[in-house]
Structure formats: C-alpha cells, structure tokens
C-alpha cells in the first residue's frame, strides 16, 4: 500500500472514531436529561421515608395538612452550623403552630450526626440519607438547601444558601396552615 493510501485510511478511521465519540457524548447528555427531574416551586414534593437518630421512621407524607421546613445539610458545612441554632429556636416556637422541621443529613455516620446534634442541642427530627437517594431525588446542590413545603405538599420556596434567624422566622410563618 502506498504512503498516501495509508494516510487516507488513517484519516477515515480517525473520522469514524471521532463521529462515534461525538454520538456517544450526545446520547449520554440527552438520555440523562430525562432521568433527573429538577424540582421547582409549585411542584409536588416527592415523598420519601428515612429513619431518624432514635430509630423512628419519618415519611414526608406524614406531615400532610401541615407545613414542612425540609432542610438538607452536613456536619462539615459552615453555613449549616451557623443556621442550625436558629432553626432549633424557631422549631420550638412553630411546631405547635403546625410547622415541622425535618432535617436530612447527607450520608454521614450516625455517630458524627448524633455528636453534632448533642453539640448544638438540636431536638427536631434528624434523618440520615445514607444511600443519598433522597439527595438525588431532590437534586440537592449545594448545602445547605431548604425546601418550604405547604400543607398540601407543594413546594413553595427552594433556598440554596444560609439563612438568618429573621429569614427563618419569616419562612416558618409563611408555612403555617
């Protein structure tokens, strides 16, 4: 085979490989797009069940008819550490008014989360998403992320930042049934 034929064959081979790679990338981008539904304000909050630090099961649907302050966090997250005492203070005031806090730790050990709970004196339910399925279901990025869910199970607000105590009070007031 002559040198020019070899070059031509290599060029064709490279073109085919590049076309296959491009097709694979395009397929993966568009096929995954349908699998992950990004939740928005106005959507029904997906139900889930997780176990708290005391072994009790919590389902989001258990709170039907009441407001839910659904907070996703990690012990290593500085903004999470800052807002936890504010959430605790308001939990004590708003629980009897029909607003519940459900705190979801993302995949950390029971020991680490329980130590955090004790350090901050937290009394609201803390569940651990060990498999990170709920994190994926709610498409959580970054931490902290908080969903305000009304009495009908509808997402009313999605907060992807640290909250002040005044903001937490306002949000909990808005969730009262």
pLDDT, one tens digit per residue, over 41-98 is 999 999 999 999 999 999 999 999 999 999 999 999 999 999 999 999 999 999 999 9
| Pairwise pLDDT comparison (176 vs 5), residue with the higher score | 176
Task: Tell me the per-residue pLDDT of 107-140, one tens digit each, with 9 for 90 and over.
Answer: 999 999 999 999 999 999 999 999 999 999 999 9
Domain count, the chain: 2
Examine the domain organization and report whether 27 and 97 are in the same domain.
Answer: no
Examine the domain organization and report whether 76 and 146 are in the same domain.
Answer: yes
pLDDT attached to residue 34: 47
pLDDT exceeds 90 at position 28: no
List the CATH number of the domain containing 159: 3.40.30.10
Q: What is the pTM of this model?
A: 0.80
The parent domain of residue 22 ranges over 1-35
> Do the domain assignments include residue 8?
yes
Q: What does the mean pLDDT of the chain come to?
A: 90
Q: Which residues neighbour 50 within 8 Å (Cβ) at sequence distance 6 or greater?
A: 57, 58, 104, 127, 128, 129, 134
> Do the domain assignments include residue 43?
no
> Do the domain assignments include residue 28?
yes
């Amino acid at each position: 085979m002559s040198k020019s034929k070899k070059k031509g064959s290599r060029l064709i081979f490279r073109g085919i490989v590049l076309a296959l790679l491009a097709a694979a990338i395009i397929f993966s981008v568009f096929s995954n797009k349908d699998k992950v539904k990004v939740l928005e304000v106005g959507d029904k909050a997906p139900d889930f069940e997780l176990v708290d630090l005391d072994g009790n099961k919590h389902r989001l649907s258990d709170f039907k008819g009441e407001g839910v302050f659904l907070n996703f966090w990690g012990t290593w997250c500085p903004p999470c550490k800052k807002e936890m005492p504010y959430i605790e203070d308001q939990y004590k005031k708003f629980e009897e008014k029909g607003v519940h806090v459900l705190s979801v730790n993302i995949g950390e050990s029971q020991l680490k989360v329980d130590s955090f709970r004790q350090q901050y004196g937290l009394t609201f339910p803390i569940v651990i998403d060990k498999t990170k399925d709920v994190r994926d279901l709610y498409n959580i990025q970054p931490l902290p992320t908080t969903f305000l869910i009304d009495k009908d199970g509808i997402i009313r607000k999605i907060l992807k930042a640290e909250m002040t105590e005044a903001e937490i009070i306002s949000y909990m007031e808005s969730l009262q049934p």
